[in-house]
Structure 1
Amino acid sequence: MEKHKHRALLHFLKRSGKPIEDYVNALAEVVDDLNDAYDQLDSKWRLGTEEFLKLMILDGCFILEIMRTCAPVFNDYDPNDPIFSDHGRLYIVPYLKRDMLKLENQLPLLVLEKLVEREDGIVIRLILNFFDQKRVGNMGKCLHILDVYRKSLLEEPDKNVDHKVHQGEDEIIRSATELNEAGIQIQKSETKSLKDISFHRGVLKLPPIMVDDTTESIYLNLIAFERLHVNAGNEVTSYIFFMDNIIDSAGDVSLLHSSGIIQHAIGSDKAVAELFNSLSKDVTLDPENRLAKVHNSVSYYCKKPWNAWRADIMHNYFRNPWSILSVIAAIFLFALTTIQTVYSVLSYANSSSK
């Protein structure tokens, strides 16, 4: 992409009508902040040199031009351009989107804001539009594109269910199929926010999610971001942990799909199950996280005597068609026997009265 980056820079400068030196001077004012944004940065970049600032500008302009290509604005690139055209939007941009969400590819958001020369949130809106994400409330200070994308997934739900804390519960929640057998209804949440997970009166609500070829890369980078940033929070990590617990097999994915929670385009329900199981490797749930309380409430509900008995009946007698037929046949035979017994008693009573 290096040659395309330089082409994007030329288009950006031509459109702005300013020389690159103006942007170098603008970034020079915050060069210390830009240096501090990187860990283990090579010493040659920490001198605040013009070369470092021009590298920031080159990458920043390329990102802005890519996002601008997907926005409903005038496109001054050639229709046959391999990147900044309808062809590039269809065949190249999906891969660039994935790469732009990799933790190692992040550029300080400050660079983009300086290049746009506006601090009214236009860069954040551009990022959210580019990734087809809904803007949430006040995001506060964002570090980079991955941080903006993550916060867009964590909209606060309108209604918070108060979950009571129950001591001594199992740490592993049951699968979606087993929860269904225990009488728990699984429904789609009203929003797509990963925070919009609740359990109330036997109803577990989960946000809908689209699983495709980019899902694994996106969530691995979000998990890595939360693990490496102390004050970032762990909402995405907790969500993946929770989903892994309720997804053990293709049957669980099928149940969640029928409930409108999981839509996927990666081949099979089994592949989706394997994806969530691999994402949660070496992941733990923070006991102070809100999802831990939901987890606790679901476990407590499943251990109630009636729900446990119901789950046992469903698991042992209604797991496959043959078991169901056997139960129906037994009930039918019992009914016939009862009718025959009643008929015999009535016949005997009639004969005795006569």
Structure 2
Amino acid sequence: MVALLDQQLIVLYLITLKLKETIEANLCIPQAKPIARPIPLGLYNPALRPLLTSQPLLLPPPPPPPPRPPPLPFDSPRIMSIIEKINQARQDEASSPWETLSIYRVPKCLRDVDQTAYTPKIVSLGPYHRGRRRFRTMDRHKWRSLYHALDRTSHDVRLYLDAARSLEVHARSCYEAPISMSSDDFVETLVLDSIFALELFRGVAREGFRGLGYSPNDPVFAVRGIMHSLQRDMIMLENQLPLFVLDWILALQLGFEPSDSYLVAPLALRFFNPLMPTDEILRPTASSGPLYEASSNGGALHCLDVFRRSLLPCPTPASIPRLTYRGKQFARPVAAPFPMPFSDACWLPIADKRRRQLIHCVGDLRDAGIKFRSRAGVQFWDIEFKDGVLYIPRLLIHDGTKSLFLNLIAFEQCHLECGNHITSYVTFMDNLINSDVDVGYLHANEIIEHWLGSDGEVADMFNWLCQEVVFDRHDCYLSGLSEEVNRYYNNKWNTLRASFNHKYFSNPWAFISLIAAVVLLLLTAAQTFYTVYPYYKPK
């Protein structure tokens, strides 16, 4: 009786709901959003499932799509602004001499490591730092150098101005940042700075400052303490002049044909020789090849490039251009047996600090039995590993070495056409040196000679040189040597043998104790033998 009553109520409820929907549909009344209500208990009756499933499922209609905004007219301010920016980008791309860039602004990521290493202190060359208050005193001496050069050669200044004006377009294309200087100011800067640099180069060379007409007590053009500061400023990346401009001006001074003279590079090497991190004195030779050619087909670009090339093997090994962009570096695409669409998987990023580990530190290598010896008669980069001995040429460190290495590394990071020999060497030494103990051991073996305050300063210098530097250990001339050293280091027998030698043969008392222990062990074995032997074989 109760079940029948429930069925009647359910049927009445469904009929009422259907009637309500029909009335609302006829009256075009919008339906409200359905509200979730608890289902009556009678609906859970299995006998009512066929009745419920026979009813159509009513869903709310989907919302209409939002109307599309009308397209902006072509002459609207927004479209005109975008088109103007695209045209400006097209002009910048057409006018930017990417292939001739050689004098770069140091990237901010490198500059933040050490601001003073990239900024000149007493003299500026080129347009980057021109006009600053700190250089006004040296600007007066620049004009003095121009006066001496004109008085000595009896030339008209217009000869040099016309030559610089003919080179202006090419010279501007060598600088990375847009030069906002006017044509007259830029030409004046080229002439004034070139004459000043050439007077210093020639004065330090065989001619001497007296031969150029300067007083022995000249505050600048004399071999004295300020010369070291000038050398440090003039070797910086942002303080460079194109080498072809220097060659052209010097050729005019000496009466040579500008297109056939490459005389500045040997003079620059002689001038910057005190900054060399090696005992080897670099002298120009006839077989130096492209080092002293200022042409655009692989020759030196500026004085910093001349200095860098003099440190490298001769001839300079061909290097694969690295695809870099301001602190990011990517390897070449991986060859695939079938065409692949362009994606992130086609380019392998190598800006990973884990890839910068070439070798273990000196302390760990000593524990593995590797010895360190100084190597004489070779360049500082020529490192060799043979029979468990790592031969490293002597390295000279002074107060200008840090700035020198940082500018050389910055140039290798920015210029895509040069290799990374200096970066590889500095990274290798950074891996070797972790503390002042490592520096002290290398100093005791005559590998490092420094004039800094302590060994800790040398360790800090190497640990800071490679900050924010993009480097791949597989793209390094020391990668093969590092693999040999690591294989020797990972050999457990070498580690055990080194530990035994260090424990018992490094101290004479430890060696005497070892001998005594061996003798005692032999006597004990002999006593045991003579005690046991008569038991098995009596007389």
TM range (shorter): 0.7 to 0.9
* Alignment match, 1:290: 477
Higher helix share: 1
Distance 1:259 1:175 in 2: 15
Cα distance between partner residues in 2 of 1:150 and 1:319: 44
Q: Distance in 1 between matches of 2:421 and 2:392?
A: 14
Give how far 1:312 is off.
4.5
Deviates more, 1:146-155 or 1:173-182: 173-182
Amino acid at match of 2:425: Y
SS at match of 1:90: coil
Greater shift in the superposed pair: 127-136 or 28-37: 127-136
Residue 217 (structure 1) aligned to one of 403, 412, 424 = 403
From 257, 268, 271, give the equivalent of 1:130.
Answer: 271
For the structure 1 residues 197 and 156, does the alpha-carbon distance in structure 2 shift closer, same or farther, using more than 3 Å as the test? farther
Q: Where do 1:65-84 residues align within 5 Å? A: 65-74=199-208, 75=210, 76-84=213-221
Which is further off, 261-270 or 96-105?
A: 261-270
Q: Kindly provide the amino acid, as one letter, of the partner of residue 267 in structure 2.
A: L
Partner Cα separation in structure 1 for residue 356 and residue 152 of structure 2: 61
Distance 1:52 1:172 in 2: 45
Structure 1 residues 112 and 151, CA gap change in structure 2 (3 angstroms): same
> What corresponds to 2:308 in structure 1?
150
Give TM-score scaled by structure 1 length. 0.84
Report Cα offsets for 1:258-305 as digits up to 9, x if no partner. Answer: 333211110222221111111122333341322112111211121123
**Residues 2/319 of structure 1: CA separation in 2 closer, same or farther (3 Å cut):** farther
Amino acid at match of 1:339: L
Measured after TM superposition, the shift of residue 208 of structure 1 is: 1.8
**What is the RMSD of the two structures over their aligned residues, measured on CA atoms?**
3.0
CA distance in 2, matches of 1:221, 1:285: 19
> 2:269 and 2:392 mapped to 1: Cα distance?
22
After superposition, the C-alpha distances for 1:77-118 in whole angstroms (9 at most, x for unaligned) are: 112211112xxx221000010001111111111121011115
Does 2:384 align with 1:198? Answer: yes
Name the CA shift for 1:325/1:285 in 2 (closer, same or farther; >3 Å): farther
Q: CA deviation at 1:346?
A: 5.5
CA distance in 2 between counterparts of 1:304 and 1:222 reads 36
Q: CA deviation at 1:195?
A: 3.8
CA distance in 2 between partners of 1:181 and 1:50 (Å): 65
Q: Which residue of 2 aligns with 1:99?
A: 233
Name the CA shift for 1:319/1:116 in 2 (closer, same or farther; >3 Å).
Answer: farther
What CA distance in whole angstroms lies between the structure 2 residues aligned with 1:101 and 1:325?
A: 54
Q: Deviations over 1:108-138 (max 9, x none)?
A: 1112101111544321100111122514722
* Bigger CA radius of gyration: 2
Pairs aligned (count): 335
Query: 1:17 and 2:154 equivalent?
Result: yes
Partner of 2:91: none
Question: Are 2:166 and 1:8 aligned?
Answer: no
- Describe how 1:103-122 pairs up with structure 2 within 5 A: 103-117=237-251, 118=258, 119-122=260-263
Q: 1:245 to 1:221 in 2, by over 3 A?
A: same
Tell whether the 8 Å contact from 2:412 to 2:420 is kept in structure 1 after alignment.
Answer: yes
Q: Report percent identity of matched pairs.
A: 35
The amino acid of 1:72's aligned partner reads R
2:488, 2:494 within 8 Å by CA — same for their partners in 1? Answer: yes
Partner of 1:250: 436
Distance 2:162 2:356 in 1: 59
Counterpart check, 1:299 vs 2:486: yes
Q: Is the 8 A contact 1:155 1:194 kept in 2?
A: no
SS of the equivalent of 2:408 reads helix
Could you tell me how far apart the structure 2 residues matched to 1:277 and 1:82 are? 37
Answering whether residue 197 of structure 2 is matched by residue 63 of structure 1, we say yes
Q: Secondary structure of the residue that 2:300 maps to in structure 1?
A: coil
Q: Which amino acid aligns with 1:21?
A: R
What are the ranges of 5 or more consecutive residues in structure 1 without an aligned counterpart? 158-168
Deviation readout 1:23-48 (Å, 9 max, x if unpaired)? 11112222111010111233334xxx
Q: Distance in 2 between matches of 1:320 and 1:250?
A: 21
Q: Deviations over 1:38-63 (max 9, x none)?
A: 11233334xxx232111111111111
| 1:232 and 2:418 are equivalent in the alignment | yes
> Aligned partners of 1:125 and 1:296: how far apart in 2?
37
